[in-house]
């Protein structure tokens, strides 16, 4: 039986390292991620992880951290979603347990920036969601600012991904159908 916050979720993401070694960086990162607790599919444009929320988030975070290179500007566009028609009800093998990549990436630290936007598809209260996510980001110490369409985050990689995970945890309990779009960035030349 899944834990109450272990809801079905998916995340489609695209890594974009600004390096002539982009193929090695992208494929190397994807290969390093332990995906035994999610369904994983990599295509021409993106990679999709599907399964229970903690394991999907664990895999996305691990992929970003494995792709990081000091001095190389990289972004990841990610859309976390819950409630899409046809979404599978459970993860492939395990319903609960330790996130498989936490040990490998949990002690890695580097600064990063991100933006996060909430899209509520089932008539839920978007404004309440935005206000709650702003409060979570502020409480976790990563809120840098607000734009009309997103929250801007800045901090250590662990803190920023903790914020996205907290946002997904809250949204998954409140909304039946939503998407949380995030752009993660490291070593930006404009930062």
What DSSP string runs through the chain?
Answer: ---TT--EEEEEEEEEE-STTHHHHHHHHHHHS--TTEEEEE-SS-EEEEEEHHHHHHHHHHHHHHH--TT--EEEEEEEEE--TT--SS-SS-SSS--TTHHHHTT---EEEEEEEEEE-SS--HHHHHHHHHHHHHHTT-EEEEETTEEEEEEEHHHHHHHHHHHHHHHHHH-SSEEEEEEEEES-TT-
Burial class (CB in 10 A: 0-12, 13-18, 19+), 10: buried
136 touches 166 (CB < 8 A): yes
Please tell me the predicted confidence (pLDDT) of residue 4: 63
Q: What is the pLDDT of residue 83?
A: 79
Q: Are the beta carbons of 81 and 119 closer than 8 angstroms?
A: no
Q: pLDDT tens digits for the chain (191 residues)?
A: 456 678 899 999 999 999 999 999 999 999 999 999 999 999 999 999 999 999 999 999 999 999 999 999 999 999 999 976 665 545 454 457 889 999 999 999 999 999 999 999 877 787 888 999 999 999 999 999 999 899 999 999 999 999 999 999 999 999 989 999 999 999 999 86
Backbone angles phi, psi at 93, to 5 degrees: -120, -50
């Amino acid at each position: 039986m899944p834990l109450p916050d272990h809801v079905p979720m998916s995340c489609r993401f695209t890594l974009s390292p600004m390096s002539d070694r982009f193929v090695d960086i992208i494929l190397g990162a994807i290969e390093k991620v332990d995906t035994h607790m999610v369904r994983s599919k990599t295509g021409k444009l993106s990679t999709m992880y599907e399964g229970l929320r903690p394991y999907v988030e664990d895999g996305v975070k691990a992929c970003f951290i494995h792709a990081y290179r000091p001095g190389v500007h990289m972004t990841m566009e990610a859309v976390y979603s819950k409630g899409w028609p046809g979404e599978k009800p459970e993860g492939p093998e395990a319903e609960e347990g330790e996130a498989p990549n936490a040990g490998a990436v949990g002690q890695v630290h580097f600064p990063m920036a991100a933006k996060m936007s909430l899209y509520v598809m089932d008539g839920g209260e978007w404004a309440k969601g935005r206000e709650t996510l702003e409060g979570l980001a502020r409480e976790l110490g990563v809120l840098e600012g607000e734009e009309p369409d997103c929250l801007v985050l800045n901090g250590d990689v662990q803190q920023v991904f903790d914020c996205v995970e907290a946002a997904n945890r809250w949204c998954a309990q409140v909304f039946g159908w939503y998407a949380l779009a995030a752009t993660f960035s490291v070593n930006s030349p404009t930062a």
